[in-house]
Amino acid sequence: MAIEELGADHLYQHCRLDGMKFKTTADLDTLDQPLGQERALEAIEFGVDIERSGFNVFAFGPTGVGKHRLIRSILERRAGNGGKQYDWCYVSNFKHPEKPRLLKLDAGLGAQLAKDMLQFIEDLLTSLPSSFQSDEYRTRRQEIEDEMTEHYEEAFSKLGAVARERNVALLRTPAGYTLAPTKDGEIVTPEEFAKLSPKEQEEIQEVINELQSELQEVVKKLPMLRREASHRIKALNQEINQLTVEQFIAWLENKYHEHPQIIAYLEEVKDFAIENAEDFLPEDENVEVERVKQQARRYSAFQVNVFVDNTDSQGQPIVFEENPTFQNLVGRVEYISQMGTLLTDFTLIKGGALHRANGGYLIIEARKLLSHLYAWEGLKRALQSHEIKITSLQEVLSLNSTVSLEPESVPLDVKVILVGEPILYYLLNRYDPEFGQLFHVAADFSADTDRDTLGQEMYARMVATLQQGKDLQALDKAAVERVIEHAGRLAEDGEKLSLNQDQLGQMMQEADYWARQAGHRATKQEDVELAIRKQENRHSKVREQLSEQVLRELRMIDTAGDKVAQVNGLSVLQLGEHSFGSASRITATARLGSGKVIDIEREVKLGGEIHSKGVLILSAYLANRYARERPLPLAASLVFEQSYGGVDGDSASCAELCVLLSAIADLPLSQNLAVTGSMNQLGEVQAIGGVNQKVEGFFDICQARGLTGDQGVIIPAANRVHLMLREDVREAVAAGTFHIYTAVHVEDVMQQLKGLAPGELVDGEYSEGSFNRRICDRIDQLQVLRQSFNGREHEPEQADRDE
């Protein structure tokens, strides 16, 4: 028999740091780089250093192993030696306002230019009105107006003189100019005009008509005189504007003479300001000085939108975008509402994470990125085109019918590091053909490290690193050894240590709390034990409720005696980060049929795919073992009793086969044992997960009912290295009140449960008294029973009923 009972010394891997001479972690050197992550470290350093397109990094691994901390530490070392940084600004495109211009300026220069342009606006608001109120301007303007008036009066004077010579007076009335006949210098009244002879009246009318034509010609020339005067006044205004504007622009040009982009921009500002200087003239000449700055804000055309300001940046930027939506990545154009209308201009352009990280590094959580609409596509487009084009999501999806801005694209030079789970990396690599072109570098983080002598010593230094990094009091040597043992328990492997720094750090912080509560100057082993026990107790409510249901016999679990077609299976329940073991009763039925084994869990859609696979495997083993050369005249069913949720995994397939064999041959199975382990088609027992929790789950039930000395658990032999059991379980095994067996074949499990040997196969038959002989005999009986029915015509009907 290949089954073996384990002693207490095989149930736990103790940590002994005898080769290290230290009293507390304060005596240990901290680690310069994370333990066990050499592969990921090398990949990240390569991806960061290589300056080639497409060599972005996808860092993946289990949660809590310090992916973000390692990435940030590498980037911070590299960023300190980074290249030159720039400010990115949008300014007005005076010819095409819908297409703002982009300025790339040295770090700090953008903010200074924005400040100077705001000052430029304020200067114009104060200086231009003063210039137009000066005596010189008023005198020159008055000269133009007087000259126009002089021409105006001269034309009417000449016409009036001609009229007087012909006895006609040119009169100015509120309605305009009119002509009237005169006699001896006096105006002829209508009554006097009526007394004149028709001939005299006709002659006077002819003269008036001629003069009226001349008057119209003079009046027609008046708008041209006004136009000419207006042009001269406008020219005078532009002259004054130009003198004022050029004065301030010249100062700016002198300040920024080494920056061609700014000089070109200032030229456009000067031309536009001169042409539109009247915008700076108040309707009310008595403008309060304190309102100048408020008014200056309204002149957005002359402002500078510094949407990326690197004034205070040191080295290359490192940006972690916590909310990687499409607009948070590529930027957006905001709108303001005025009178029910949405308005925008270049000052409302906001930069995104790609803009802030330009020239440096951008870190994004892959799961968050993929959960936002079009964010992944937007990031890919920017990386492929090497530029950032600010567009709204509505425009990208062709949902926007309003006119918006088209800002000039920003050249992009950034290294993107995605951080996520392995499943996301492999799914993207499989289903997105563009992913491999953009993320050449895979940084795979390890979940655990080897637990050898060197590994334990390095782990002690990692504990010291965490202790100092979290500002905890030092741990003594025994406490460090207990922490390492707990790390082995977290790894679910006696030969491995978990690298989950989050869980480890949380436990160390709790141990530090209890040590301070107890007045210990250094954290002791008892403090670590208490922290672990408190953590488990906080999450043990559901486990205790299930145990209570068993003790009250609400959940039927037998821990003594023998039963036919019934066995104790073991499972693990996961609640958040906490898991615990639980026992389940597995039962089977067997009768005459056509060889079909019904998985009730699958039939009612409570069984997962892996569990269904396990049932099919044991069905294949059953047919191959006992009916290789003949039909299997059997119909059977399997079920987890009192299971009302999903059942998945194949770790119960050994137990399910044993209970099925028990049902077939009417073989009682021991109820004081529980079974866990999966099997293959050859009957070999395979390793399963959660072995520690499963053993402890059944132990808790047996202990609560009272240990009888014959209770225990059968586990796969391959899981022997994974055992890191609680102290009370180890004490019970050492006292002989609880037993742990390992098996390599499913027949070993059956033998331990039944107490019968599997037997040897001689001339096609198993030896007498073996459980295999009893199973074969029962199958022979079913075969005879099947043939006893009324001919073959009844066989299909019987098969239908069985199914």
Active site residue ranges: 651, 694
The answer to whether the CB of 107 falls within 8 A of the CB of 87 is yes
The answer to whether the CB of 482 falls within 8 A of the CB of 525 is yes
The answer to whether the CB of 655 falls within 8 A of the CB of 716 is no
131-137, long-range: CB < 8 A, 24+ apart: 131/240, 131/243, 131/244, 132/237, 132/240, 132/281, 133/285, 137/236, 137/240
Q: Residue 5: beta bridge partners?
A: 741
Structure tokens at 468: 């100092």
What is the number of other CB atoms lying within 10 angstroms of the CB of residue 583?
26
Length in residues, the chain: 803
Query: Alpha-carbon Rg of the chain, whole angstroms?
Result: 47
d(CA 611, CA 626): 23
Alpha carbon of 72 to those of 36, 68, 189, 623: distances in Å?
Answer: 17, 6, 105, 58
Cα of 241 vs its chain's centroid, Å = 53
The b-or-e profile of 364-384 (16+ CB within 10 A means b, else e) is bbbebbbebebbbebbbbbbe
Cα of 433 vs its chain's centroid, Å = 21
The answer to whether the CB of 712 falls within 8 A of the CB of 743 is no
Strands 86-91 and 101-106, sheet pairing: antiparallel
The answer to whether the CB of 479 falls within 8 A of the CB of 520 is no
Structure tokens at 311: 């004034």
Strands 562-564 and 566-575, sheet pairing: unpaired
**If DSSP states are collapsed to H, E and C, what string results for 385-417?**
HCEECCCCHHHHCCCCCCCCCCCCCEECCCEEE
Strands 57-60 and 415-420, sheet pairing: parallel
Question: Rounded to 5 degrees, what are φ and ψ at 637?
Answer: -140, 150
SS3 state of residue 179: strand
Structure tokens at 570: 């073991």
Cα of 208 vs its chain's centroid, Å = 92
Alpha carbon of 34 to those of 31, 48, 121, 149: distances in Å?
Answer: 7, 18, 55, 91
Instruction: Compute the CA torsion angle 22, 23, 24, 26 (nearest 10 deg).
Output: -60
The answer to whether the CB of 10 falls within 8 A of the CB of 695 is no
User: Hey, what amino acid is at 635?
Assistant: A
d(CA 353, CA 322): 10
The answer to whether the CB of 755 falls within 8 A of the CB of 670 is yes
Q: Residue 580: beta bridge partners?
A: 573
d(CA 763, CA 637): 31
